[in-house]
Amino acid sequence: MANNSFLITNVRIFTGEEFIERGYVHVQDGKITAFGAGEASSSPNTPILNRPNHTLLPGFIDAHIHADGGNTASIEQSLSVGVTTVCDMHNEHVNVKKLQKLAAADSSKDTYADFKSCGIAATIDGGWPEPVVTAHDKSEETRAAIKTWPKLSQPSEAAPFVEEQVAVGASYIKLMHESGSGLSHNFPLPSLELQSALVEAAHAHHLLAVAHALTLKGTLEVLRCGVDGLTHTFFDAPPTDELVALYKRNNAHCNPTLGAVGSLTTEGQALQQQYADDPLAKRLLLSPRARDNLCACMAMGKAGGNVANAYDSVPIVVGSDAAGPALGTAYGLSLHMEMRLLVREAGMRPLDVLKGATSLTAARFGFKDRGVIETGRKADLVLVEGDVEEFLQGKVGTGLVLPVKGVWRDGVVAKVWKNVMES
């Protein structure tokens, strides 16, 4: 493994919970061994990085991606822009195992983000996400993969299904509850009895049950079934008192994915183009196709559905819903866009958005070794030039992508930022 011990000094620190205006972080063998305000005592032979006018944060956690077909860009491009952990929300087991192996290898800590997964989602015959997947990819390979997806129908199938995902290392369980009514379509839905059984089975394994729903009605239904979080907010109607009450009853979170919703409704296209033209994005996007996808829109929204309806929900965790073929998204960069939308459009405080991209997501999903700059935690870190709060508010900086200047996973600097250890 590459050198994974160093000391960063004279830097503004976001711990995942609060800011330290000027302090230090000491990393030894890939773990944070000390941090705090003021000066640190240096150790012999430890590289020292003096970084005034920079902010050091926990590595970002993208709470929602899709690594379609085992696409390695999902973990490579993500790491390059400071996303040190991705949470895949539906994938065939062969792809899950492939990406888990790549991410876990000591030799690839400088290349790939860590990979968390639900395994495969609880799908039904002809239900979501088959319609959206085949809208973007009609290849024989994709159709063959879809044939392997679960076709759950009875509550008695829930426990065996969850056990299969646990066997492949699932960190949470994903439910699908998409009627298509917000997308001008009509898709088959799982029964509420099946959804309740899936939640119960997930909880029996001490795992979160999270659900996809894009309508108010669908969101209310899965919350009544007891889910712990929504992987999107709905956009077909304003929120209701019952919605808020159910979120509170379940202690549930919401991952709004405003950028993806904006792509569905086409409201986000202008901003997507601006992100694609950002100098840092141009440098770090891995392929011309990735840029083209970021500039386009899925355009599946029903007339009258809009992002404004999504803003009044209960956003807690931050995730992008980035996927290789999904128009309007790009791995890693879409998380930067999501943070911007939550601050500048939804009116969230930068502090709360940064928590949602680090400590809150780690706490919600039970990732106890990351998400916070704290003694004993993994040294998953991202260094950003300037004041990150002011940048998210648009008070400083000329670009849209956070001005990343260094990324570390387990204390190993990402290869695209290796010069940071030499300067």
Diameter of the chain by CA atoms?
Answer: 65
Residue 85: alpha-carbon gap to chain centroid: 8
Asked if residue 25 lies in contact with residue 38, where contact means CB atoms within 8 angstroms, the answer is no
Q: Considering the entire predicted model, what is its pTM?
A: 0.88
Instruction: Report the distance separating Cα 115 and Cα 370, nearest Å.
Output: 13
Q: Output the tens digit of pLDDT for each of the chain's 423 residues.
A: 458 999 999 999 999 999 999 999 999 999 999 999 999 887 778 999 999 999 999 999 999 999 999 999 999 999 999 999 999 999 999 999 999 999 999 999 999 999 999 999 999 999 999 988 887 778 898 899 999 999 999 999 999 999 999 999 999 999 999 988 766 678 899 999 999 999 999 999 999 999 999 999 999 999 999 999 999 988 788 888 898 889 989 999 999 888 766 544 444 455 556 655 555 555 555 455 544 444 443 333 444 444 444 434 465 799 999 987 555 678 999 999 899 888 888 888 899 999 999 999 999 999 999 999 999 999 999 999 999 999 999 888 766 789 999 999 999 999 999 988 776
Residues 361, 253: Cα–Cα separation, whole Å: 9
Q: Domains of the chain by range and CATH?
A: 59-371 (3.20.20.140)
Tokens of 327: 């128009």
Name the phi and psi angles at 13, rounded to 5.
Answer: -120, 130
The owner of tokens 């944060």 is: 57
Query: Are residues 285 and 77 in contact, defined by beta-carbon separation less than 8 angstroms?
Result: yes
| Integer Cα distance of 261 and 264 in angstroms | 5
